[in-house]
């Protein structure tokens, strides 16, 4: 299932990814944000489950924002996992 998540409080505006019935996340793409860093994050967690991504990235903050693009990815995959199970 392809999923899109509108981010909040970050430079990126949207996260697109695929998630399967086992909550494995692939093809992650951020729209906006720090292009090089977000491409790297996407490559590093490609093929991980939503739970694995959340365990590593949930709560990661960028400066004073209280969130980050990585934190938003964690929230996005957990939301999507709840919809595919």
Q: What is the pLDDT of residues 19-61, one digit of tens each?
A: 999 999 999 999 999 999 999 999 999 999 999 999 999 999 9
Measured distance CA(55)–CA(11) in Å, rounded: 22
* pLDDT over 70 percentage in the chain: 99
Q: Would you state the pLDDT for residue 85?
A: 67
Instruction: Decide: residue 63, CB within 10 A, 0-12 exposed, 13-18 middle, 19+ buried.
Output: exposed
Closest CA to 7 of 34, 25, 46: 34
pLDDT of 78 above 80:
yes
Question: Tokens 């729209």 correspond to what residue?
Answer: 31
């Amino acid at each position: 299932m392809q999923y899109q998540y509108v981010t909040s409080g970050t430079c990126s505006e949207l996260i697109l990814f695929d998630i399967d019935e086992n909550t494995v996340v692939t093809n992650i793409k951020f729209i906006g944000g720090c292009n090089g860093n977000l491409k790297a994050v996407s490559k590093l967690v490609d093929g991980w489950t939503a739970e694995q991504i959340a365990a590593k990235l949930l709560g990661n903050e960028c400066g004073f924002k209280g969130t980050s693009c990585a934190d938003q990815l964690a929230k996005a995959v957990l939301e999507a996992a709840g919809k595919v199970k």
